[in-house]
Amino acid sequence: MHRNHPFYSIYYHGFARLAVAIPAVRIAEPAFNGERTRALARRAADEGAVVVLFPELGLSAYSNDDLFQQTTLLDAVEQALIDLAAATHDLNALLLVGAPLRHEGRLFNCAVALCSGQIVGVTPKSYLPNYREFYEKRHFAAARDAIGDTISVAGQRAPFGTNILYEAEAIPGLAVYVELCEDLWTPLPPSTFAALAGATVLCNLSASNITIGKADYRRALCLSQSARTIAAYLYSAAGLGESTTDLAWDGHALICENGELLAESRRFCDDEQIIFADVDLERLIQDRMRQTSFSDSIGDYRERLRAMRRITLPIKPPFVTDLRRTVARFPYVPDDPATRDERCYEAYNIQVHGLIQRMRSAGVTKVVIGVSGGLDSTQALIVAVRAMDRLGLSRQNVLAYTMPGFATSAQTHRNAQALMAALGVSAYEIDIRPSALQMLRDLGHPAGEGKPVYDVTFENVQAGERTSHLFRLANYHNAIVVGTGDLSELALGWCTYGVGDQMSHYNVNASVPKTLIQHLIRYVIRSGEFGGEVNKVLEEILATEISPELVPAADNNDDKPAQRTEEIIGPYDLQDFNLYYITRYGFRPSKVAFLAMHAWRDADRGSWPEGLPEHKRRAYDLPIILHWLRVFLYRFFQISQFKRSAMPNGPKVGSGGSLSPRGDWRAPSDASAAVWLAEIDRLIEDLKRQG
Ligand SMILES: Nc1ncnc2c1ncn2[C@@H]1O[C@H](COP(=O)(O)OP(=O)(O)OC[C@H]2O[C@@H]([n+]3cccc(C(=O)O)c3)[C@H](O)[C@@H]2O)[C@@H](O)[C@H]1O
Ligand SMILES: Nc1ncnc2c1ncn2[C@@H]1O[C@H](COP(=O)(O)OP(=O)(O)OP(=O)(O)O)[C@@H](O)[C@H]1O
Ligand SMILES: NC(=O)CC[C@H](N)C(=O)O
């Protein structure tokens, strides 16, 4: 496949490459500082960055003290700006450079925005620190003390103020705002208002000196500002070369995106540095669109926001294919073992608490559950047992039924029995074949006469008989039926509607994706909570092929499940990936495919969740990714919403979302998948045509 199709470029998918540079600096040597700025700006632009941020007062150095009041130094800064503009006129990037500038008879601590050799805007610092080690008011005037809204600098006239947004029409979603160091330390940073006005990339030119513990504090400030404003936050602190008369400098650069750290410099480094991150502008805008309180805040400050000036930049999207951003293979399962264990702990508690509350309010002390020996019913059974333990009730109050049908394999049957016994629940077995056969005969179905017609009716009769038994058992024992179907199955419509596994009195798994269920079970094994016998069965269950076991094997070998779910609906690894990006962020299918390609194309790259067996660490190439994505789109948008619209109750577990029509996902049952399929089909055709 030719990799010159726009599909392969990050910019086609709403990403922008942003850079933060920490050049070497010399105090009061603007020519040298300008030259280092030029060199790093060129390097960053050559690598496809469209925004390059430099430290505060970088052209003069920050630690000049009273030298700032020397005309000779200020002239030299202006000359450095003239030279820098000329030397970078051919760069396809917005450069944000720090300089002390004379204006209206005072000196301002400014961020100069350069693009295509032009000074496109100048932003003065709003909040000048004048406490403890800082004396900025001795040298500078603050933004609020400026009179006009333009400045003459380096032979050019440019917009001046704290109300400037830089936008590039050719890069949708790119809107840059600039503030300076202390501005972020205030209760209401100017960037907060800029974000409300539409800025997605907030840049901070900083010269923060380092003291013990300060790096963590800065990181926390940047992360929280990026999360609050649903924006990217770029930060550049001065480094090697600033004066150590009384202070020290660590060259701390950060790129954060909505509360997530994407890149960070090495601090106390002897070399110049550039850090890069490919920021997902579309994701930011999608999140702002969803979070209605963001829009309410805009309403509250409309007057201030109206004063914002928008400068259009002539920047074009470069063709960049090496996505510099980690795309996790499992969006629902963190790779890092500590975080994963924390999430598993949360998930279990949410599930168990949900069930406890439902039992209390329904006034029941027993639950009924169908145990197949598969992953989902195992997980739900563990939750039910924990709920009984917490309620101080006997585990015998869990009425567990294994119900072999026409295609139940010896292996899962064995696992189901062993699990129930090891957990100490009330274990029963009901053979559903006689009642299923009766129903097939009543329907006039050929399988009722022993003919091998294994259609969807044959499958659903068995799922239906099981559910029918479970509900009547619940009536009989004054219990409730615990549902087992997981989020991934709901997304794909992979369950039998109504009198089938779609229905229960309370479904503890409803918002737990299949890829997480495996890890929840592994977590139970690791925790040692249930002891050796239970763990042995759990290991067996984890190793069994995922199957609905509704169709008998042709060769009658019934030791292992015959139907392989993932051959029909696709690997859950990919389908959970698709589910996350389609429902959580509303991305186009082509973008989801692009992300999946980066996450899944090479099994040797990146990390895998600990405990995942070797044979499950597999790669998927783009044609396979596109094939299963198409299956997902059709099943999710076209044929399965009616099942979700009638979902039983169950707790939302992950921030990735649930599919409850009363919660995260309200959608019409009659929608068509045409636009999603058309988008992916256009791409498949294009790529085929290109060979
Ligand atoms: N838009 C719509 N609004 C309202 N009703 C609609 C509908 N579209 C179809 N229907 C009705 O719904 C029926 C289709 O739904 P349904 O009866 O559920 O049947 P269906 O979705 O065709 O089949 C269930 C599938 O799930 C699989 N399954 C079942 C159970 C467990 C598991 C597992 O592995 O966990 C997998 C099973 O192998 C089978 O392929 C149609 O026959 C029609 O009567
Ligand atoms: N042989 C069985 N005995 C008892 N209950 C069953 C049996 N087969 C299915 N069920 C019930 O129907 C539900 C759906 O069945 P299915 O086989 O699709 O899921 P599962 O086995 O729990 O998990 P997985 O989908 O991962 O195999 C099960 O979770 C279980 O509650
Ligand atoms: N240059 C500045 O504005 C520095 C002040 C900021 N509060 C800091 O400590 O890093």
Is 373 annotated as ligand-binding? yes
The residue-averaged pLDDT of 223-247 equals: 95
Residue nearest to atom 6 of ligand 3 (CA): 182
- Determine the atom of ligand 3 nearest the C-alpha atom of 125: 3
DSSP assignment of 516-527: HHHHHHHHHHHH
When pLDDT is cut at 50, 70 and 90, the band that residue 615 belongs to is: confident
**Residue 412: nearest ligand to its CA?**
2
pLDDT at 565: 84
For 63-105, write each residue's pLDDT tens digit: 999 999 999 999 999 999 999 999 999 999 999 999 999 999 9
Q: Please, are residues 370 and 470 in contact by the beta-carbon 8 Å criterion?
A: yes
Residue 375 annotated as part of some ligand binding site: yes
* pLDDT value of residue 557: 57
Domain regions of the chain by residue span: 8-313, 337-689
Q: What pLDDT does residue 4 have? A: 87
- Span 404-418, pLDDT tens digits: 999 999 999 999 999
Provide the 10 A C-beta neighbour count for residue 396: 13
* pTM of this prediction exceeds 0.90: yes
Q: What is the mean pLDDT of the chain?
A: 95
- Active-site residue flag, 125: yes
Strand 118-124 with 106-115, pairing: antiparallel
Residue nearest to atom 2 of ligand 1 (CA): 642
| Residue 224: pLDDT band with limits 50, 70, 90 | very high
Residue 226, marked binder: no
Q: Which ligand is nearest to the CA of 189?
A: 3
The catalytic residue among 115, 136, 179, 181 is: 181
Q: Please list the residues that pair with 123 across neighbouring strands.
A: 111
pLDDT band at 555 (very low <50, low <70, confident <90, very high): low
Any idea what DSSP says for residue 583? I
Active site residue 203: no
Write out pLDDT tens, residues 618-673.
999 999 999 999 999 999 999 999 999 999 999 999 888 899 999 999 999 999 99
With a CB cutoff of 8 Å and minimum separation 6, the contacts of 17 are 10, 47, 48, 49, 50, 276, 277, 278, 279, 318, 320, 324
For residue 239, pLDDT beyond 90 = no
- Angle of the 572-579 helix axis to the 622-633 helix axis, nearest 10: 60
Percent of the chain with pLDDT over 70: 99
Residue 551's pLDDT is what?
Answer: 87
**What are the pLDDT digits (tens) for 360-390?**
999 999 999 999 999 999 999 999 999 999 9
Strand order through the sheet with 506-507? 426-429, 398-402, 366-370, 479-483, 506-507
Higher pLDDT, 137 or 4: 137
Nearest ligand to the CA of 459 is 1
User: How far away, in angstroms, is 498 Cα from ligand 1 center?
Assistant: 9
What's the confidence (pLDDT) of residue 3? 79
- Tokens found for residue 286: 């999608």
Kindly state if the Cβ of 64 falls inside 6 Å of ligand 1.
Answer: no
412 CA → ligand 1 middle, Å: 23
| CA-nearest residue, atom 28 of ligand 1 | 495
CB of 507 shorter than 6 A to ligand 2:
no
pLDDT digits (tens, 9 = 90+) for 448-488: 999 999 999 999 999 999 999 999 999 999 999 999 999 99
Q: How confident is the model at residue 547 (pLDDT cuts 50, 70, 90)?
A: confident
Domains 8-313 and 337-689 share a fold: no
- 268 Cβ below 6 A of ligand 3: no
Q: Whose CA is closest to 161, among 174, 175, 144?
A: 144
Give the model's confidence band at 356: pLDDT under 50 very low, under 70 low, under 90 confident, else very high: very high
The vertex-655 CA angle with 652 and 658, nearest 5°, equals: 40
Residue 16 has pLDDT above 60, yes or no: yes
- How many Å lie between the centroid of ligand 2 and the Cα of residue 402? 9
460 lines ligand 2 (CB under 6 A): no
- Residue of 125, 514, 591, 652 marked catalytic: 125
- Answer yes or no: is pLDDT of 1 > 70: no
Residue pair 281/14 in contact (Cβ under 8 Å)? The answer is yes
Q: Phi and psi of 25, rounded to 5°?
A: -130, 145
Going by pLDDT thresholds of 50, 70 and 90, the confidence category of residue 441 is very high
Can you tell me the distance from the alpha carbon of 197 to that of 302, in angstroms, rounded to the nearest whole number?
Answer: 9
Percent of the chain's residues with pLDDT above 90: 91
Mean pLDDT lowest for which of 555-564, 609-618, 624-633? 555-564
Angle subtended by helix axes 589-600 and 622-633, to nearest 10: 140
Q: State how far the Cα of 686 lies from the Cα of 99, in Å rounded to an integer.
A: 48
**Gap from CA of 472 to ligand 1 centroid (Å):** 22
ipTM value, please give it.
0.93
The pLDDT assigned to 554 comes to 67
CA of 647 to the centre of ligand 1 (A): 14
Q: Is the pLDDT of residue 2 over 80?
A: no
CATH 3.60.110.10 fits 8-313, yes or no: yes
Reply yes or no on whether 514 is catalytic.
no
User: Which residues, listed in sequence order, are joined to residue 670 by a DSSP beta bridge?
Assistant: none
- What tokens appear for 235 in the block? 């930060």
Query: What pLDDT, on a 0 to 100 scale, did the predictor assign at position 21?
Result: 98
Average confidence (pLDDT) over 120-144: 97
646-664 b/e with 16+ CB inside 10 Å = b? ebeebbbbbebbbbbeeeb
CATH superfamily for 337-689 is HUPs (3.40.50.620)
